[in-house]
Structure 1
């Protein structure tokens, strides 16, 4: 029996969250085509044969001078040293720049490269990329092509990860899917809907706080506030006659209800908190930040 922790690292939009959802065969991690959507570290528990693999989804590695983004980057870097194995995710279409930047961080634990999105490429593109990475093969333990949609080579990937995990009893109940609370998951479901329904800039100036959470055997009751930084953004989030907020609420309720497997009542509010992305104390609480 082996059990251990795997940090999933890579640039924004490389497919880290999609990979975790794919391996878990359940949607728990926020997925968006927009950059820097992942803000909190979500731990997903995957049982493989008699082994337990705990994956940590991390914010994307990128360059930024903004405090909020710097804290996201630091959270990802911290995960590099706080695991048994690193899974570096790269699109098959990416150059090797991001991987070389990752190597410059001097990771101390073994890492495996996942070449993601191979269902969108052809064999020529894949073989060319494998050849490029082969020049750096002394750095990684394995390189595995993968498709999140088709789960190509899923068992090969999990078998390879297990090789590098320690002999250890299970850290968590095998029936659990994640160590994150339902409130944290539902918060990200709402945030995901913001990314899906709003223009490029607006989601980045918004966050979600859950103010009420009640659950019975048949019903889930949630109240949540969307935090944004200006009155003009608040007006955009609410929309004419409240239609935008209603659309967001409906889509979020469907996601939450599907995951919770019960009827969900969701009330959304919009609050203005000016310069929240520069408020270090607020951000640390928001991101469950650890120094």
Structure 2
């Protein structure tokens, strides 16, 4: 599933392919990815002739700004953004094609179509669509992280996955961050000491820095992600066989030695 690091890679694709170029044609091959009442005709009318400007990302959302309206793209489970030559045949799951004035195309590709594309005619509409998002995980401050972990006590894994608390973290990132911080996914947010909150914050920023450079959560041999899918995989730090279970409704992996379960 695309997480913050993946969407940041798609932002780079858009930043390299789009800014300064005009949208000459919009081809909607599957209107099933259009959201918020958006129709193929309305999308074509809104984007035709608009010049693409610098994109930005917030959490798992990519904002494609133009001199007119903006598009908000959410990639769900299987979405991608691809830059291709217009002469190249579309892939089977290319749902919307934006042809630019240099004969390149931005292609929104998505097999399962769980999320999609929203139109935001004004900056206020962008803010409205993102109103339920917490601070972006990549730039979250210590104070913002403390706020995100405050309030109703709950399991750490659930708090990290809550996009209204911290925007951008998914299953792989959350497990990796907790493993780096040596914190069990079921530990309650109100059970964290100041030292543990500090470890969590440092781990979050470390994991995101590396993952954003890679464009995904890398399967490093020295990281949890490099072992989580191996049968009887061992912790790369201590060698203990990794534990598997479900927390916050998601398949979760942790080290029972380095991430001991909280008492009680």
Structure number having the greater helix percentage: 1
TM-score normalised over the length of structure 2: 0.25
